[in-house]
Chains A and B, each alone.
Chain A
């Protein structure tokens, strides 16, 4: 082996080391975010973004070390599937979290979805339904079945189709 090739090896090893450590750090960050953030949806930010980058860095490190051309398509496909599935899962969890009110309204500076959900919940029924009572009493955590039910019907039309697609993809 020529000294030149040895130098290339060293560079590749060094790059691999950097990518592996950075990728692992990204996973650590996701954990810190999960612990530090106050509510479900900001935790979803922490759970999705650093982890996608972390996986990217780890896959690149694998590709550099394997030195086989055929490993790259597998790695690319793996990362693309990650890109496709992570937002879907984050969206599903965030959406369920919003509907079941796993959030701190006092930490939201703007909430333009709340009015929509309330309107669609109030539309079919008579005013003064359980929803308004909940809002007045601040009983968001309990007894919001009516809200979830009607709001769900209204905004949910497309949920089934997309859900099916997601399942068959996974």
Chain B
């Protein structure tokens, strides 16, 4: 199996993550321990190679923080929605399986979108068609076509948010072109 070589720079965020996990597990963030952790991270990443995670090379912190806060709020809302539905509707709840095509074809983006969707209110990924980058979402309490349209919009908004945070430049440009109103192009992204 041949593997496209990845530069250390694109791999760096993942290696740093491994070192943080190492430090957290040892509860020791002293330089010596971190250095040893970095060594192990490098060896692990070189020897046990999985299909490479292709990071896009950009990460917008200004957009990531509000996204994370909204996400946390949605996790809370999801729990209370489940409480409400479980108590009030229970066995009579009506659901739907909805097909939503995504914009991005990157594995990482599809996975991230699927993860976020599974944790926010009312959606769960049932099936992924990787070739067309289509998610099949199981929506809780989707009674009619209007609700289903809302769910589709929610999915695509979630993906748009993630693209703005860490999509590739090409994906971002496509998104801007799609969402920009007919007037002049919107202001440039903060990198």
Contacts of A44 in B (CB 8 A): 124, 138
Is the pair B97, A91 in contact by a Cβ cutoff of 8 Å?
A: no
Contact B25 A110 (CB under 8 A): no
**Chain B nearest CB: distance from A116 CB in Å?**
7
Q: Are A87 and B125 in contact (CB under 8 A)?
A: yes
Question: Which residues in window 89-106 of B have CB below 8 A to A?
Answer: 90-99
A53: contacting residue among B76, B125, B129, CB under 8 A: B76
Interface window among A4-12, A31-39, A134-142: A31-39
Chain A residues with CB under 8 A of B43:
none
Size range of the interface on A?
Answer: 35 or more
B79 in the interface, Cβ–Cβ < 8 Å?
Answer: yes
CA distance A63 to B23 in the complex (A): 17
Q: Is B27 an interface residue (CB 8 A)?
A: yes
Q: Check B125 against A94 for contact (C-beta < 8 Å).
A: yes
In this complex, which of B23, B27, B97, B119 has the most chain A Cβ atoms within 10 angstroms of its Cβ?
B97
When the two chains form their complex, are residues B21 and A52 in contact, meaning their CB atoms are under 8 A apart? no
Tell me which of A45, A74, A162 contacts B82 (CB under 8 A).
A45
Do A84 and B115 touch (CB < 8 A)? yes
Known A-B contacts A71-B27, A157-B131, A158-B130; the reply to A168 vs B50 at CB < 8 A is: yes
Contact A87 B115 (CB under 8 A): yes
Interface string of B141-163 (1 = CB under 8 A from A): 01111011000000000000000
Proximity bits, A85-102, B CB within 8 Å = 1, else 0: 011101100110010000
Return the CB mask of A105-134 against B: 1 if under 8 Å, else 0.
Answer: 001111111101000000000000000000
Bound: A33/B89 CA distance, A? 10
Q: Give A109 to B149 CA distance when docked, in angstroms.
A: 12
Q: Is there a chain A Cβ closer than 8 Å to B122's Cβ?
A: yes
Contact pattern, B 112-145, Cβ under 8 Å of A = 1, otherwise 0: 0011011101101111111100001010101111
Given contacts A49-B75, A52-B119, A158-B130, contact A33 B86 (CB under 8 A): yes
Q: Quick check: B115 and A83 within 8 Å, CB to CB?
A: yes
User: Which residues of A have CB within 8 Å of B94?
Assistant: 107-109
Q: Which residues of B contact A (CB under 8 A)?
A: 20-21, 23-25, 27-29, 48, 50-51, 75-76, 78-79, 81-83, 85-87, 90-99, 107, 111, 114-115, 117-119, 121-122, 124-131, 136, 138, 140, 142-145, 147-148
Of the A-B pairs whose beta carbons lie under 8 Å apart in the complex, a sample of 26, sorted by A's number, is: A26-B79, A32-B86, A37-B91, A37-B93, A41-B138, A42-B138, A45-B140, A48-B124, A49-B79, A50-B79, A70-B29, A87-B114, A90-B118, A90-B124, A91-B124, A94-B125, A107-B93, A108-B95, A109-B143, A109-B145, A109-B148, A110-B98, A110-B142, A112-B99, A113-B97, A157-B130
Given A38-B91, A49-B79: 15 more A-B contacts, CB < 8 Å: A26-B79, A29-B79, A38-B90, A41-B126, A42-B140, A44-B138, A48-B119, A52-B75, A56-B75, A73-B20, A83-B119, A98-B126, A109-B142, A110-B98, A157-B131
Q: A: which residues have CB within 8 A of B?
A: 26, 29-30, 32-33, 36-39, 41-42, 44-46, 48-50, 52-54, 56, 70-71, 73-74, 76-77, 83-84, 86-88, 90-91, 94-95, 98, 107-114, 116, 155, 157-158, 161-162, 164-165, 168
